[in-house]
Chains A and B, each alone.
Chain A
Amino acid sequence: MMEQLPALQVVLPLFSALLCLLIRNKTASRLFAVAVSWGCLAIALILLRTVQETGIISYHFGGWFPPLGIEYRIDLLNAYVLIIVAMISAVVLPFGVGHWGLSIPEGREYLFFCAFLLCISGLLGITITGDAFNVFVFLEITSLSSYALIAMGRNRRALRAAFTYLVMGTVGGTFILIGIGMMYLETGTLNMVDIANRLPLAYGSRTVLVAFAFLTVGVGIKLAVFPLHHWLPNAYSYAPATVSAFLAATATKVSYYVLVRVIFTLFGAAYIFETLRFHVLLIPLSLLAMFIGSTVAIYQTNIKRLLAYSSISQIGYMTLGLSFASINGLTGGLVHLFNHALMKGGLFLVLASVMHSIASNEIDDMRGLGRKMPFTMAAFVLGGLSLIGVPGTVGFISKWYLVVAALEKGWYPIAVLILLSSFLAVIYIWRVVEIFFFREPAAEKSIKEAPLSMLIPTWILIGGTLFFGLQTEWTAGVAGSVANFLLGGLP
């Protein structure tokens, strides 16, 4: 049983998704999905412990040895990402148990949970597999299920958002497939370890260059790197509230993982940063994302769009950390993966509660809401402080690593820009907090505090932003050793 865990991590949600279709009853399918997500979290935790104790796990699917068969290969990096995905799904799925209503389309609940579980299994699959083609397969599972999830949004514009995402996602997926194909052309294998061993022989080849370009742009679309981010704001804004929380906290994180895997495991950091000078492209794009994303967020009237644009700027921080190609920089990027999942997940859950109460995402309708829903809105304030990077919250940890990384490279202007961009976050967060707490409520409506089944998941994530803001051993500690492990080849 124990040695089959890597397979179960993916197979469990995959087959449960099909079972959901057979259950059909909305309450039963929901409880079933919750149970499955908790099972996934348990498996992910055991896998992380095993990796920490015994080192890399290599699982051969169906007993076929690699490179013939598919290998699942779990090292510290993907064990860490598995935890993020499993944790967020385990918190988001139980959100609002016992309350049906605005977020899930009526009569199609079992389909919703089926798609949700498929999406989870796809994300876990991308993360766990050690086979390049397998990555593409799971990517498509994830994408197709998330198009379906987004299209279930109440607003009819959700359909168009899903369609745009579908087109962009397909382009991204195709680029990734082309990239994988070219690597196969050069190396004759699809197993990541094999590719990593054979690619250096082909470094001079033009095919490798093109492969890397296709891979980076393909992953960049999925990751919503500036300026390839235009599908993201609409997708997050019009998706059902819990789906926004889930996707914002996991989908881009897994794409970031793929980018890290491609750069550091497949191609090798030395080749990417010294020969191709990838950072010369990535740093300006990251900085533009940080500033333009935050500035656009300031002008938003819809709060979900505000958070979506803030996500784009936060992704900028992550890619910036990566492009430093140093231990501290990569630690900052990786730890922000976890931290941003906590805060954005928590913030979107707050909005899901608000949606439940006032059926609106317009900032203007939320005047004085802090008095009606004090616990929910207090969670928003704390999450917002974390986005700004106030000390004592997780946001500070990530920014601290990034600033230190910039300083040790001697890139002082970048350190200053990181701090300056925090001021933009202060503006967009303060603007809405002022509306929540310092404005008179619009009309005397009977708005009540969100139910406990919504408050508890929200506060688990928001509490996490405070807890991991002080206890950094489990996040920054792990991210640090991952960075060490990935950069082992670099001096």
Chain B
Amino acid sequence: MSGSVHPAFVLLLGALFLPVLKGRMRQGLLILLPVLGFLNLLGLEMGTVWHFPFAGYGLEVLRVDKLSLLFGYLFHLAAFLTAIYSLHVKDSIQHLTGLMYAGSAVGAVFAGDLITLFIFWELLALTSVFQIWSRRTARSYGAGLRYLLVHITSGLMLLVGAALHYRESGSLAFDVMTLADTASWLIFLAIGIKCAFPLLHSWLVDGYPEATPTGTVFLASFTTKTAVYALARGFTGTEELIWIGALMTMFPIFYAVIENDLRRVLGYSMINQIGFMVAGIGLGEGMGVNGAVAHAFNDVIFKGLLFMSMGAVLFRTGKINGSDLGGLYKSMPLTTGFCIVGASSISAFPLFSGFVSKSMVMQAAADQGHLVIWLMLLFASAGVFHHAGIKIPFFAFFAHDSGIRCKEAPMNMLVAMGLSASLCVFIGCLPGPLYSLLPYAVDYQPYTSTHVLLQLQLLFFSALAFIFLKLSGIYPPELRSVNLDVDWVYRRMFPATVRTVVRAVKPLKDQLLGGGRMLVTWMISELQRHHNPQGIWGRTWLTGRSVLMAVVVLGAFLLFYYY
């Protein structure tokens, strides 16, 4: 069938009708669009490539293969679930940008060349930031600006990388590349920023917790997964990724354990899960990439589910810090249940979705003889259970009773969480359909006695550790605190350093007439002095002066030509 349109445009253009409609009509369209998009996707044949002449380059705006199709299905599924989850929202901006955001992600995974990728890459940043801004607080405004800045930088690096790549290879096609030159490093880093590589990750834990309750669910589904797709497409089997991925699984655990804001905890656990995918991609074709992609698929669903349950808590109670919550299971029993399903999935309990995909990555590491990596991943798996599997449901719904009594989550949220939870269990029990979608043929059996036993032991001892720490009082208590992360460098250390320097220089000021701060202030004030409407460049020149300038320029030109 060739009746399909470009998959990105169903969501991108369809979303434009949302603000015009009201009430039921809008809710209907919101749910209908992902379904339409999905049907449209079914009409695309494997191997289809659409060319589009653009500025003299033959762009491949659409490339359909197993990898892109899998992510296409995934994003439509996520858009569908999130649409249901956010049905109650009255703010049409969130709906509009949310679906456009999903559409951009779809466009990015079907992009066959770097320019198309770049266009959707930037669109992804522009549309997603509204999920943060829509909370309409000063904090979210600042966090959104920082988020946007990081992502636009990533886009620019991708663009410059693409231009250099084109100059060197004469091709814009987005295929597997090696980290051999500046171009590929730039592209690699651009993807790395979106993928939350260590030290490049702070935008995620800075921005996501500031978004609206529904916004975080949107954000969790698309940006990082698009980056995972891009890595799988461009850098499969890149050795560095194994180590980067393993590091990503490890370091967030410590932050997650001491963090109080539960959505930020989830943000850290998200980096941890992406770490598994990145490591899988680094392990290369076959089992590694299969595991990574399958895990991305599952992660969107179970991480979405966890963010949904926390969003529901935030929506009903207005609180999200572990220290303020507790005992909610009495008020929100269904949400509690769904949250536990999500927690079990992320911890990779057998019969839940995380198990069937995470073990593939670990198996790939073991098969290739990466013992250290395998141990790191193992440690991380235990850590995930610890902070996401136990901590999230425990502090939100059990622990000490906070005395909060609220209503159960709204119907649409429950439906969305229910669907996600069923999917988690379904994939966990019957991984076959998911495996058949993976880019490489699968000959992997998750339910062997070794796998199951090992995983259960791991979980058991991890739980034991939690109980031990909790009972013995060593477990870090949930405190209202701010934990330092890399973003501290540019949010606090950098300004503080400048201040310290200035303070140190102050005594010398009289002698030196300056110091760093003076220079900067001077430069800015000079800039303003010259460029404001009264400044030399900004004010209206007298006619005579303009003419004089013309004559001077003429003289200069004459002299220049003459010599």
Which A residues lie at the B interface, using CB under 8 A? Answer: 163-164, 167-168, 171-172, 175, 206, 209-210, 212-214, 216-217, 220-221, 227-228, 230-231, 233-234, 276-277, 280-281, 292, 295-296, 298-302, 305, 309, 390-392, 397, 400-401, 403-404, 407-408, 415, 419, 470, 472-473, 476-477, 480
Q: Which of B55, B537, B547, B553 is the most central at the interface, judged by chain A CB atoms within 10 Å of its CB? A: B55
Count of chain B residues with Cβ under 8 Å from any Cβ of A? 40
Bound-state CA distance A209–B561 (Å) is: 7
Of B119, B546, B549, most A-chain CB atoms within 10 Å: B546
Q: Is the CB of A213 within 8 A of B163?
A: no
Between-chain CB contacts (< 8 Å), 15 pairs: A164-B543, A206-B562, A209-B562, A216-B557, A217-B554, A227-B549, A228-B553, A234-B540, A295-B527, A295-B531, A299-B533, A299-B538, A404-B163, A472-B54, A476-B55
Q: How far is the CB of B171 from chain A (nearest CB, A)?
A: 14
Residues of A within 8 A of B118 (CB): 391
Q: Which residues of the partner chain B approach A228 to less than 8 Å between Cβ atoms?
A: 546, 549-550, 553
For A221, list chain B residues within 8 Å (CB): 550
Give every chain A residue within 8 A of B553 (Cβ-Cβ): 217, 220, 227-228
Most buried by B among A212, A231, A296: A296
Q: Is B533 a contact of A209 with CB atoms below 8 Å?
A: no
Report the minimum CB–CB distance from B81 to chain A (whole Å). 28
Taking A163-B543, A221-B550, A230-B546 as known contacts, 20 extra A-B pairs with beta carbons closer than 8 A to each other, sorted by chain A number, are: A168-B550, A212-B561, A213-B554, A213-B557, A214-B554, A217-B550, A227-B549, A228-B549, A276-B561, A280-B560, A292-B537, A296-B537, A299-B535, A302-B533, A391-B115, A419-B160, A472-B55, A472-B56, A473-B53, A476-B55
Q: For residue B298, give the distance in angstroms from its CB to the closest CB of chain A.
A: 32
Please tell me if B558 contacts chain A, counting CB pairs below 8 Å: yes
> A213 vs B551: C-alpha distance in the bound complex, in angstroms?
11
Of all chain A residues, the one with the shortest Cβ separation from B556 is: A281
CB of B490 closer than 8 Å to a CB of A: no
Question: Using Cβ atoms and an 8 Å threshold, which residues of chain B touch A292?
Answer: 531, 537
Residues in B whose Cβ lies below 8 Å from that of A305: 533
* Cβ–Cβ contact B54 & A392, under 8 A: no
**What's the Cα separation between A347 and B318 when bound, in Å?**
42
Residue ID in chain A nearest B534 by CB atoms: A299
* A171-B561 contact given A391-B119, A401-B55, A419-B156, CB 8 Å threshold: no
Q: Whole-angstrom distance between the alpha carbons of A403 and B159 in the complex?
A: 10
Which residues from B are CB-within-8-Å of A400?
A: 55, 163
> Of B53, B527, B547, B561, which is in contact with the most chain A CB atoms at under 10 Å from its CB?
B561
Interface residues of B in 150-166 (CB under 8 A from A): 156, 160, 163-164, 166
Residues of chain A within 8 A of B554, CB atoms compared: 175, 213-214, 217
Question: Are A217 and B557 CB-contacts (below 8 A) given A292-B531, A295-B531, A301-B533?
Answer: yes
Question: What residues of chain B lie closer than 8 Å to A300, measured between beta carbons?
Answer: 533, 538
Q: Say how far A352's CB is from chain B's closest CB, in angstroms.
A: 22
Decide: B546 and A477 in contact? CB cutoff 8 A: no
**Contacting pair A476 B56 (CB below 8 A):** yes
Chain B residue nearest to A328 in the complex (CB): B56
A472–B115 Cα distance when bound, in Å, is: 14
In the complex formed, the residue of B with least CB distance to A473 is: B53
B123 at the interface (CB under 8 A from A): yes
Bound CA–CA A231/B160 (angstroms)? 37
Closest to A280 in B: B560
Residue of A217, A305, A309, A480 with most partner-chain B CB within 10 A: A217
CA distance A300 to B528 in the complex (A): 11
Q: Is B261 an interface residue (CB 8 A)?
A: no
Q: Which residues of chain A are near B55, meaning CB under 8 Å?
A: 397, 400-401, 472, 476
Q: Does B532 contact A (CB under 8 A)?
A: yes
Q: Name the residue of chain A whose CB is nearest to the CB of B164.
A: A407
Residues of A within 8 A of B538 (CB): 296, 299-300, 309
Shortest CB–CB separation between residue B116 and chain A, in angstroms? 9
Distance in Å: Cβ of B393 to nearest Cβ of chain A: 38
B542: nearest chain-A partner, CB-CB:
A164
A276 to B164, CA, bound (A): 31
Query: Residue B408 at the A interface, CB < 8 A?
Result: no
Say whether A477 contacts B531, CB under 8 Å.
no
Known: A209-B558, A228-B550, A392-B119. A472 touches B53 (CB 8 A): yes
Cα of A231 to Cα of B544 in the assembled complex, Å:
11
Lowest 9 A-B CB distances belong to which pairs?
A391-B119, A230-B541, A299-B532, A213-B557, A217-B554, A472-B55, A230-B546, A295-B531, A296-B538
Once bound together, how far apart are the Cα atoms of A251 and B404, in whole Å? Answer: 68
Chain A residues with CB under 8 A of B53 = 472-473, 477
* Chain A residues positioned under 8 Å from B531 (CB to CB): 292, 295-296, 298-299
Chain B residues within an 8 Å CB radius of A206 = 562
User: B residues 471-517 with Cβ under 8 Å of A?
Assistant: none
Contact B167–A408 (Cβ < 8 Å):
yes
Residues of chain A within 8 A of B115, CB atoms compared: 391
A408 to B541, CA, bound (A): 39
Q: How far is the CA of A235 from the CA of B53 in the complex (A)?
A: 40
Shortest CB-to-CB span from A172 to chain B, Å, is 8
> Please, which residue of chain B has its CB at the minimum distance from the CB of A206?
B562
Residues of B within 8 A of A299 (CB): 528, 531-533, 535, 538
Measured CB to CB, the nearest residue on chain B to A391 is B119
Contact A407 B546 (CB under 8 A): no
Shortest Cβ distance from B122 into A: residue = A391
Return B528 CB to nearest CB of chain A, in Å: 7
User: What residues of B have a CB within 8 angstroms of the CB of A302 in the complex?
Assistant: 533
Given contacts A221-B550, A292-B531, contact A390 B558 (CB under 8 A): no
Give B43-64 as 1s and 0s: 1 = Cβ < 8 Å from A's Cβ atoms.
Answer: 0000000000111100000000
Closest CB in chain A relative to B180 CB, distance in Å: 18
A407 touches B543 (CB 8 A): no
A153–B84 alpha-carbon span in the complex (Å):
54
Report the nearest A residue to B53, measured CB to CB.
Answer: A473
Inter-subunit contact A407/B163 (CB<8 Å): yes
- Complex CA gap A281/B163 in Å reads 27
Residue of B nearest to A327 (CB): B56
Task: Compute how far the CA of A276 lies from the CA of B547 in the bound complex, rounded to whole angstroms.
Answer: 25
- B556 proximity list for chain A (CB < 8 A): 281
Residue of B nearest to A285 (CB): B553
Nearest A residue to B541, CB-CB: A230
Q: Please report the C-alpha to C-alpha distance between residue A470 and residue B54 in the assembled complex, in whole angstroms.
A: 7
Measured between alpha carbons, how far is A403 from B160 in the docked complex, in Å? 9
| A233 to chain B: closest residue by CB | B540
| A-contacting residues, B137-181, CB 8 Å | 156, 160, 163-164, 166-167
Closest chain A residue, CB of each to CB of B119: A391
Nearest-neighbour CB distance to chain A for B365, whole angstroms, equals: 38
Report the minimum CB–CB distance from A173 to chain B (whole Å): 12
A401 — nearest CB in chain B belongs to which residue? Answer: B55
Q: Given contacts A227-B549, A295-B527, A397-B55, is CB(A213)–CB(B558) below 8 Å?
A: yes
Indicate if the CB atoms of B122 and A390 lie closer than 8 Å.
yes
Chain B proximity of A135: nearest CB distance (Å): 19
Closest to A331 in B: B56
Contacts A292-B531, A299-B531 hold; do A168 and B164 have CB atoms under 8 A apart? no
Please measure, in the bound complex, the distance between the C-alpha atom of A365 and the C-alpha atom of B118, giving whole angstroms.
37
Return B539 CB to nearest CB of chain A, in Å.
Answer: 9
Closest residue of chain A to B528 (Cβ to Cβ) is: A299
Chain B residue, CB-CB nearest to A475: B55
Complex: A156 Cα to B545 Cα, angstroms:
22
A302 to B539 CA separation, bound complex (whole angstroms): 12
**Contact partners of A172 in chain B: CB under 8 A:** 550
* A213 contacts across to B, CB distance below 8 A: 554, 557-558, 561
Assess whether A281 is in contact with B557, with CB atoms less than 8 Å apart.
Answer: yes
Q: Is the CB of A403 within 8 A of B163?
A: yes
Q: Chain A contacts of B532 at CB under 8 A?
A: 296, 299
- Give chain B nearest CB distance to A459 CB in angstroms: 14
> Hey, which chain A residues are within 8 Å of B561, CB to CB?
209, 212-213, 276
If the complex has contacts A213-B561, A299-B538, are A231 and B546 also in contact, measured as CB distance less than 8 A? yes
* Bound-complex Cα distance A401 to B531 (A): 29
Q: Known: A292-B531, A296-B537, A400-B55. Is A210-B558 also a contact (CB below 8 A)? A: yes
